[in-house]
């Protein structure tokens, strides 16, 4: 990774780039409806993106979830996408670690729901 890379919380202005990323990252799946719904509904806890200059090259979303049979909520990680030319450069890992650090600072130790 170069020093041009920035990880930051997304804004509504990033939505078009986020939607464009997932067909590149997952050409055999259409995740755009899921991503759009999660971004609109406000169920996301945290939406982060990695940018190379102005270009969005990776995205991760943490959403609210509840654990079965308990009165606890947690953060569900996903979807996570990285454009193919930037695979195997640690971007997904950096986004997840950054997100978990932010969640831990915000709410204490993050609890993650299993699939």
In the structure, what pLDDT confidence band is assigned to residue 6 with cuts at 50, 70 and 90?
very high
In the structure, what pLDDT confidence band is assigned to residue 14 with cuts at 50, 70 and 90?
very high
In the structure, what pLDDT confidence band is assigned to residue 3 with cuts at 50, 70 and 90?
low
pLDDT at 114 over 60: no
Supply the mean pLDDT for the chain: 84
> In CATH, which of 3.40.630.30, 3.40.50.720, 3.40.1260.10, 3.20.20.80 is domain 5-107?
3.40.630.30
pLDDT in tens, 57-87: 999 999 887 777 766 677 888 899 999 999 9
Q: For position 1, what pLDDT does the model report? A: 46
Beta-carbon count within 10 A of 10 CB: 20
Domain boundaries, the chain: 5-107
Top-confidence residue, 92 or 35: 92
> Which stretch of 10-24, 26-40, 54-68, 101-115 has the lowest confidence by average pLDDT?
101-115
Relative orientation angle of helices 15-25 and 32-41, to the nearest 10 degrees = 150
Q: Where are the alpha helices (DSSP H) in 8-110?
A: 15-25, 32-41, 91-107
- For tokens 């650090």, name the residue: 101
Q: For position 115, what pLDDT does the model report? A: 42
């Amino acid at each position: 990774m170069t020093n041009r890379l920035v990880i930051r919380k997304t804004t509504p202005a990033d939505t078009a780039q986020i939607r464009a990323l997932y067909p590149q990252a997952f050409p055999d799946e259409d995740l755009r409806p899921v991503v759009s719904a999660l971004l609109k509904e406000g169920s996301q806890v945290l939406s982060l993106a990695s940018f190379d200059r102005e270009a969005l090259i990776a995205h991760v979303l943490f959403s609210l979830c509840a654990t079965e049979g308990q009165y606890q909520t947690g953060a569900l990680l996903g979807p996570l996408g990285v454009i193919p030319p930037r695979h195997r450069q640690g971007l997904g890992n950096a986004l997840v670690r950054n997100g978990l650090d932010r969640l831990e600072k915000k709410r204490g130790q993050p609890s993650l729901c299993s699939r």
